[in-house]
Amino acid sequence: MGMVIAAAHTATHHGTGPASAVELASRAARACLSQAQVSPSSVGVLINVGVYRESNTFEPALAALVQKEVGINLDYIADPAPAAGFSFDLMNGACGVLNAVQLAQSLLGTGSAERVLITAADVHPGGDARRDPDYPYADLAGAFLLQRSADPDAGFGPVSVYSGDGPSDTEGYLDTAAMGSDGRSRITVRRTEGHGERRSALAAACAVGYAREHGIDLDRTLVVGPHAGEDPRPGEDPSAGQDTGAGEPHTAAPILGYLQALAAPRPKDCDRLLMVAAGAGPSAACVAYRPEGW
């Protein structure tokens, strides 16, 4: 019995007020529940993997705040469908969503939960990435609702994690010496020259290694890579991407890529997806996925 994506959604910030990671993640999560036509109380575990937050908030865990906003088992005695809910943050940058998928496989496989909700949201600490041309990431959230499937051919394969060579070429941190009185609204992100090419090379190497290890025919596989939602490359249709505002997707990129893959015409003979994430570390993660009905 495999684990499948029951629903997936993204949420972007295009308003006049400041962006909130909790609000965006909650909006994407509620859209998932609405699409799947299930109540918040049916979610046993919520895993939040976002990194950048408004006002550089790190306590309490944002997962608990998202759980409250979505209304997931706030009172496991008084709830119309009594159940205990558990939520926690898992922070591993661009690979966070696939790390959460791996955890969800264990939780669903052992019967510890009936459904697992994964949320990923990043926003500029100052509340609007569009006002900071040096900040690379979009104010963007995504959510996966995962559950077991009776279809033996559908679902996720094993998640594999890889480490690249050399030091990390991306750093995000608070510069305490320069933050001054408005440090809550600042963040420093440093990326070395050529980091994008190195990230792509690591992702490609991991995809080939994963396919070899698990006997996957890449000619019949649609690869969902780390560049989902970014500016289209020469020759690509600009309408194929989703407008994420200023910047590139970060932790929500696998969710955005999955939605784009489903929305695009399915290549002939393609029978599965291969989700690949790569980021700081350098590190990467891969997992094969076959949607129900493919």
Instruction: Locate the domains of the chain by residue range.
Output: 3-153, 160-290
Q: What pLDDT, on a 0 to 100 scale, did the predictor assign at position 234?
A: 32
Closest CA to 92 of 183, 169, 21, 161: 161
Q: What pLDDT, on a 0 to 100 scale, did the predictor assign at position 205?
A: 93
Rounded Cα distance, 171 and 87, in Å: 27
Predicted TM-score (pTM) of this structure: 0.89
* Pairing mode, strands 272-279 and 221-224: parallel
Q: What pLDDT, on a 0 to 100 scale, did the predictor assign at position 268?
A: 87
Q: What pLDDT, on a 0 to 100 scale, did the predictor assign at position 238?
A: 32
Q: What pLDDT, on a 0 to 100 scale, did the predictor assign at position 241?
A: 43
DSSP assigned state of 173: E
Give the number of other Cβ atoms within 10 Å of residue 268's Cβ: 6
Point out the residues of the chain with pLDDT beneath 50.
Answer: 231-241
Q: What pLDDT, on a 0 to 100 scale, did the predictor assign at position 34?
A: 98
Q: How many helices (H) and strands (E) does the chain have?
A: 5, 12
Q: What pLDDT, on a 0 to 100 scale, did the predictor assign at position 1?
A: 60
Give the end-to-end CA distance of the chain in Å, rounded to a whole number: 16
CATH number for region 3-153: 3.40.47.10
| C-beta separation of 277 from 153 below 8 A | no
CATH number for region 160-290: 3.40.47.10
Q: What pLDDT, on a 0 to 100 scale, did the predictor assign at position 186?
A: 77
Q: What pLDDT, on a 0 to 100 scale, did the predictor assign at position 80?
A: 64
Helix axes of 62-70 and 21-36: crossing angle, nearest 10 degrees: 50
Q: What pLDDT, on a 0 to 100 scale, did the predictor assign at position 7?
A: 98
Q: What pLDDT, on a 0 to 100 scale, did the predictor assign at position 23?
A: 95
Tell me which amino acid residue 21 is: A
3-state secondary structure of 181: helix
| C-beta separation of 140 from 49 below 8 A | no
Q: What pLDDT, on a 0 to 100 scale, did the predictor assign at position 16?
A: 73
